[in-house]
């Protein structure tokens, strides 16, 4: 299990405006809470179908902050017009977001490549790649137009670094995020906007951990047994630190990249992997 830690972030992001997509999920919700604890005003965003879970994130942020420095918006990241409209409304009502955690994504199916369903592959690429590009370009355009310097952190994965069995579309999409990050970092550096990526390995507990354990067990391939408990043990055994990481351990890196402490860091992908390659 993750080691105990002092997760207090101080007030290093006082006066900043942060946008977190995929904020109804485990990592997105944790990031939103930690950003608001660090002093930022936080806009949490997710798909309209996740509105109820997004409400829970808002409640958690308000409890953590003791005030109302949180706002929720819903839009589909693959819809360019809806995304631009939502970010424009944030810029109009609050300020152009100068911190963006570009986190929305889906895992997709767990199926060997020769049987992978093309409709699912298209969905994963559309959400994870096109959606990430849509959010990043829309937010960057608002920042550049307002002359705002800031930071964009894109969510990649160790699946995009080394590939994961039975996750061809997801691995492809997360590798694309790393390339996108390096390219965008060069384009946006003249405007004072840093762009970086974070690649977690196995992170838990939570819905994504449980889902991947169950679906890898059901995939019926040589890599994992059919018992989810044994799959979980095998996954932990792949990690040199012999545990999965916590949501906070991922978000620690996001907050560092978002802060001025990382002011000379751009175009990099940081692996949060416990030593996994």
Which ranges constitute the DSSP H helices of the chain? 26-37, 51-65, 80-93, 118-125, 131-146, 158-162, 168-188, 207-218, 228-237, 247-258
Sheet holding 70-74, edge to edge: 70-74, 41-46, 17-20, 99-102, 150-155, 193-200, 269-272
How far CA 250 is from CA of 57, 92, 114, 254, in Å, comes to 17, 31, 33, 7
Active site residues: 170
Residues in the chain, overall count? 277
Round to whole Å and give the CA distance between 271 and 181: 14
At 67, list the tokens.
């005030």
Query: How large is the angle between the packed helices 26-37 and 51-65, nearest 10 degrees?
Result: 30
How far CA 105 is from CA of 28, 173, 196, 238, in Å, comes to 10, 9, 17, 24
């Amino acid at each position: 299990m993750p080691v105990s830690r002092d997760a207090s972030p101080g007030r290093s992001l006082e006066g900043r405006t942060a946008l977190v997509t995929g904020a109804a999920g485990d990592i997105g919700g944790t990031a939103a809470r930690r950003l608001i604890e660090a002093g930022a005003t936080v806009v949490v965003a997710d798909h309209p179908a996740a509105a109820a879970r997004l409400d829970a994130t808002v409640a958690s942020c308000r409890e953590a902050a003791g005030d109302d420095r949180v706002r929720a918006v819903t839009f589909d990241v693959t819809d360019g017009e809806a995304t631009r409209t939502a970010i424009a409304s944030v810029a109009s009502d609050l300020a152009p977001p100068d911190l963006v955690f570009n986190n929305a994504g889906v895992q997709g199916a767990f199926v060997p490549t020769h049987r992978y369903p093309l409709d699912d592959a298209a969905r994963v690429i559309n959400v994870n790649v096109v959606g990430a590009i849509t959010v990043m370009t829309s937010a960057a355009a608002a920042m550049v137009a307002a002359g705002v310097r800031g930071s964009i952190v894109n969510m990649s994965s160790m699946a995009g670094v080394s590939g994961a069995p039975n996750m061809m579309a997801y691995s492809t999409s997360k590798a694309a995020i790393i390339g996108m990050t390096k390219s965008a970092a060069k384009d946006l550096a003249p405007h004072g906007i840093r762009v970086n990526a974070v690649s977690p390995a196995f992170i838990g507990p939570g819905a994504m951990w449980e889902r991947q354990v169950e679906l890898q067990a059901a995939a019926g391939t040589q890599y994992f047994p059919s018992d989810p408990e044994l799959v979980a043990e095998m996954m932990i055994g792949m990690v040199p630190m012999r545990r999965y990481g916590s949501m906070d351990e991922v978000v620690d890196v996001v907050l560092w990249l978002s802060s001025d402490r990382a002011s000379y860091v751009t175009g990099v992908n940081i692996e949060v992997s416990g030593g996994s390659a």
